[in-house]
Every structure is written in C-alpha cells, then in structure tokens.
Structure 1
Amino acid sequence: MKIRNIQDEDFLRISTNLNTWWGGRDMVDMLPRLFIHHFKDTSFIIEENEETIGFVIGFISPSNLHQAYIHFVGVNPKARKENIGRTLYEHFFQAVKEKGCTEVSCVTSPVNATSIKFHTRMGFTMTDGDMVIEGIPIHQNYDGIGQDRVVFVKSLEAWSDTHFKN
C-alpha cells in the first residue's frame, strides 16, 4: 500500500465511490472539490494496485493554527478491518503535529456507533453537548436544523503512533 498527499485528479475517483462506500447514503455533497483542492498538504489517500483503499481530508484551522480538523475519512469496504482508518489518522496527526498543531477535532453523527467507537479508540474525547442520549453527548443542530453531531477533540501534545488502543 502507498500513502500520498491527495491531488486534484483524485476528486472524481473519490466522489464516484462515496455513496457506494456509505451503503447508498447520499454523501457526495459532504465532500465538494474545494476540500481536495485547498487542503492537499494535510489530506491523504492510500492506494493499492492503483485502487483507492482510503482517504482522509483534513486541514489546519485558519482561525486557530494550533488546531487541525478532520472533515472526512473514507475506507473502501473491501479494506475494512485492515486498520486503514487508523493509518490515515496517524499519518494526518503526524503531518499536522509537524506543522505546529497540538489538537485535532472532528464530528460524527450520533447514530454512527461505529464512528463513535473508532474515535474513542483513537483517543478522542467527546465534548459536552446540549443533551445526552445513551451516554453520548449530542450537539443539537450543530450542522443545521436537525443535523445533530457528536464533537470530538484529541490532544497531540503527548501523541505518538504507539498510542492507538485496541
């Protein structure tokens, strides 16, 4: 497998696979071309035999240069359970840490139990929300009316690639 910075020409290949990778959910609007075009330095793709195995789209906050944000991550269903997500996140952590970031944040949907478990295993902490459902702090209307989210934050100050918990 090869990991590299994402490039403009990767957009259509990624975009074409999004809905399929998400089991038919309409995800294409969540990843417009601008994210790939403007955040190449901190976004990565993993390929094997010229097939996309996974990608992470993230950036350093222009408002807080010590904070990075992971906007989108995807793993080819054929490659799930092979630690592709972990590899992408750790590559992102290292890249933004080298650029001076001390913290990474991201969000997920409260119904995405797999994502919540993954982020918790990666050492992210859920931030307090407006309400709690089944022990999960929820930020109501975070991404618009009816678009509730779980907000995660992770400190990179003591992070190294050996901190992934099984």
Structure 2
Amino acid sequence: MNIRHLKYADFDAISPVVDEWWGGRPVRGLLPRLFFEHFQPTSFALEEGQELVGFLVGFHSQSNPTIGYVHFIGVHPGARGKGYGRLLYQQFFDAAARFGCTEVRAVTSPVNESSIRFHSRLGFQLLPGNGNVNGYPVCLDHDGPGHHHVLFSRQLTEAA
C-alpha cells in the first residue's frame, strides 16, 4: 500500500470508474480535471501494488485559511473495510495542519448513509442545517435545487 499526492494523469484512471464506485450514482461531473491539476499538495491517491484503489481531493479554503475542505473521497468497493479512507483522511489532516488549518469540513448526500457513518466515526460533527432528510440535518439546495447535503466539521488537534 502506498499513499502519494494525486497527479494530473490520475484523472484518466479515476473519472471512468467513479460512478461505478458510487454504485451507479452519477457523480463523475463533481470531479473535473481541474482538481487533479490545481490541488495536488492536499489531494492523495492510494495504491495497492500498481492499482489505484482510493483517492481524496481536498484543499485549504482561500476565503478562510483556517479551514480545510474535502471535496471528494473514494475507495474502490473491493478495497473497502481496510481502513484506506481513514488513512487518506489522516494524510489530508496532516497536510491541512501544515497549511495552518484548524478545522476540516466536508459534505455528503443524505442518502449516502455509509458516508455519514464513516465521517462520524472519524470524529466529524454534523452541522445544523435548514432542513431534515432521512433524519439528518441538511442544508437544503446546497448545490442547487434539490441538491441537499449533510454538512460536517471536525476540529484538528495536535493528536489528529
């Protein structure tokens, strides 16, 4: 297992399979090539041998430099349960702290209950929203009409 910074060329490996990794949900459009080009210092790929089996796209906020944001994290369905998501997040926590971040935020869809449980296990808190979907607080229309999201926040500490 090897964790490295995401490379521009990783787009060509990840983009064609990302919808499949999400059980057929159309998420490919949320991951344009620009993330692979402009956010390499805070984005990571995880490989088993020569096969890319996980990735995390994150950055530190330009508007609030104390906040790091994870835009996307994915682990191949056949590689789940090995702690790879946690390892990728730890890489991001370390990178975000080096950039001076004290908090990390992320979002997920309220239908993605495995993501909600995963983030909660990592110490993320669900932030209040202006609505409720599937029993979770959500920010209604967060990314446009009908695109509601659960919002997360996790404080970074020296122990993180």
What is the TM-score normalised by the length of structure 1? 0.93
Residue matched to 2:144:
144
TM-score, scaled relative to structure 2: 0.96
2:113 aligned residue? 113
Could you say what the CA RMSD is over the residues aligned between the two structures, in angstroms? Answer: 1.1
Aligned residue runs from structure 1 range 38-57, under 5 A: 38-57=38-57
Partner of 1:23: 23
Matched length = 160
| Aligned residue in 1 for 2:84 | 84
Counterpart of 1:7 in structure 2 is 7
1:113 is aligned with what amino acid? E
Q: Which amino acid counterpart does residue 149 of structure 1 have in structure 2? A: H
Q: Which stretches in structure 1 are left out of the alignment for 5+ residues?
A: 161-166
Residues 111, 134 of structure 2: 8 Å contact kept:
no
Identity, % of aligned positions: 46
CA deviation map 1:61-103 (0-9, x unaligned): 0111110000000101110110110110011101111221100
Q: Residues 133, 16 of structure 1: CA spacing in aligned structure 2 closer, same or farther, 3 A cutoff?
A: closer
Runs of 4+ in 1 over 4 A off after TM superposition: none
| Distance change (3 Å), C-alpha of 1:131 and 1:63 | same
Gaps of 5+ in 2: none
1:66 aligns with: 66
